[in-house]
Structure 1
Amino acid sequence: MRKLLLALPLLMAAPAFASGIDITVAGEANGVISIDLLENLAPKHVERITTLAEEGKYDGVVFHRVIEGFMAQTGDVEFGRLDGDMSRAGMGGSDLPDLPAEFSNEDYARGVVGMARSQNPNSANSQFFITFAPASFLNGQYTVVGKVTGGFEVLDAIKRGTGPNGSVIGKPDVMVKVTETE
């Protein structure tokens, strides 16, 4: 009993996580993508996503890199706003520090959400991607943070980019609102 009472303040001090997020998308795709966040696999990354969502930082951020048959990338809260200079979209992050990798054995199946990063495994910040199809070559290389549980038709309708890097030309689809769910 004494151990339980001593541990209680630690449990109460632990960060509270939303169990998921809903992403309201507008553009060629219109609707909501629901994502179950996997704090057991990547607690620091899930905390970052929920913090940025709670602060409204993801609202108005575009899907700047979308590769047919692979993934849709978004989350550049610094340069990826529809109302800003889109020429640097995908090059920024948040004003928070980069995160250390939280790799797992989770398989990159269709609808898995992973954290985008540079070649440095410890450089994830605010950007994330959602896979359109299985991408097992990413397994153990990128931090898995969640899985799509609803809105696959919205995911599949996101405007595709062109060329090998999937840059979206013209007006990209946008995350109008990102909200936490219970």
Structure 2
Amino acid sequence: MQLKVQQWLVLVLIIGGLCLAGCTPNQVANSASPDNTAAETTPVPAIQTSSVQMKNLPTLEGTATVVMTVKGQPITIEVDGKNAPLTAGNFVDLVQRGVYDGLVFHRVIGPQSRPPEQPFVVQGGDPQSKNPNFSPQRLGTGGFIDPNTGTERQIPLEIKPTGATDPIYSRTLKSAGVRKQPVLQHLRGAVAMARSQQPDSASSQFYFALADLSFLDGDYAVFGKVTSGMDVVDKIQQGDRIDSAKVTEGSDKLKNGGK
């Protein structure tokens, strides 16, 4: 997607919406400029995150289907554990735990935002938003507290380049020196994880891409796509809540999941 200079500057400012607390303007700007030159071929580095770090994380071995209901209307999401096993596994695990039920979409940048903006993202998944008395200004700072550890579960950044056997972990494609497009790209309807400037800081917050956002490719982990109900996503407004989220297919492919 080609953007005019003014549109680009606006997106540099609003891309901070994908970050949790702690992003500085410079860090936001840096994360908004991935190298999208896919023609060159670069050897893909080995996985950097240790097996010890990853072994206890939920993993999705294949694909699953999640139906998320907002204002009584379903959004069907295909979750891709083939190309993003840890990121997809984390999402499916949180769905099965009921973490997303009742949570707020705390950031909407698009036609339904106030004032209306160019279509960008709808973001939610902060567990703090389940409390109706929690300050809306502080939403976007929370993640899933794992009852087994008492600490916030954070998953490594996971991006699989086209033609690679395994994903790259804990680094953006640009910082890893990879000039290939990721397998899972930010096309309209993509579902991806929000994070801070630290690569391995994603927890429970996710976003829907309201348009093709190729400048995010290689910087944020896409793990699925909307296959039905994009019209529902387009109508989401800031403050709307997730009625429920259920795994309808593929729950048997989740390993190391909770309840």
Change (3 A) 1:179 1:86: farther
1:16 is displaced (CA, Å) by 6.2
Map of 1:113 onto structure 2: 191
Within the candidate set 52, 75, 96, 1:33 is matched to 75
Percent identity (aligned): 38
Matched, 1:150 2:206: no
* CA offset digits 1:86-110 (Å, max 9, x no partner): 4321110001321111013022110
Is the Cα contact below 8 Å between 1:17 and 1:39 reproduced in 2?
Answer: yes
Q: Take 1:141 and 1:51, find their aligned partners in 2: how far apart are those partners?
A: 23
Is the Cα contact below 8 Å between 1:18 and 1:180 reproduced in 2?
Answer: no
Structure 1 gaps of 5+ residues are 1-13, 160-167
* CA offset digits 1:28-50 (Å, max 9, x no partner): xx511100001012111111111
Within the candidate set 69, 73, 76, 2:123 is matched to 73
Q: Take 1:139 and 1:16, find their aligned partners in 2: how far apart are those partners?
A: 23
Segments of 4+ moved more than 6 angstroms:
none
Q: Take 2:96 and 2:62, find their aligned partners in 1: how far apart are those partners?
A: 11
Letter of the 1:73 partner, please give it: Q
- Identify the range of structure 1 (16-25 vs 131-140) with the bigger mean alpha-carbon deviation: 16-25
For the aligned residue pairs, the C-alpha RMSD in angstroms reads 1.6
Letter of the 2:64 partner, please give it: S
TM-score by length of 1: 0.79
* CA offset digits 1:67-125 (Å, max 9, x no partner): 01001001112x12252414321110001321111013022110000000001111110
Q: Take 1:119 and 1:43, find their aligned partners in 2: how far apart are those partners?
A: 22
Map of 1:137 onto structure 2: 215
Q: Take 1:86 and 1:132, find their aligned partners in 2: how far apart are those partners?
A: 26
Structure 2 gaps of 5+ residues are 1-58, 111-118, 147-152, 161-181, 250-259
1:18 is displaced (CA, Å) by 6.2
Is the Cα contact below 8 Å between 2:63 and 2:80 reproduced in 1?
Answer: no
How many corresponding residue pairs?
Answer: 154
SS at match of 1:92: coil
SS at match of 1:50: helix
Matched, 1:46 2:88: yes
Map of 1:99 onto structure 2: 155
Q: Take 2:61 and 2:125, find their aligned partners in 1: how far apart are those partners?
A: 21
Q: Take 2:221 and 2:83, find their aligned partners in 1: how far apart are those partners?
A: 8
1:152 is displaced (CA, Å) by 1.1
Within the candidate set 48, 67, 70, 1:22 is matched to 67
Q: Take 2:221 and 2:61, find their aligned partners in 1: how far apart are those partners?
A: 20
Change (3 A) 1:81 1:152: same
Matched, 1:83 2:161: no
Is the Cα contact below 8 Å between 2:62 and 2:82 reproduced in 1?
Answer: no
Is the Cα contact below 8 Å between 1:18 and 1:50 reproduced in 2?
Answer: no
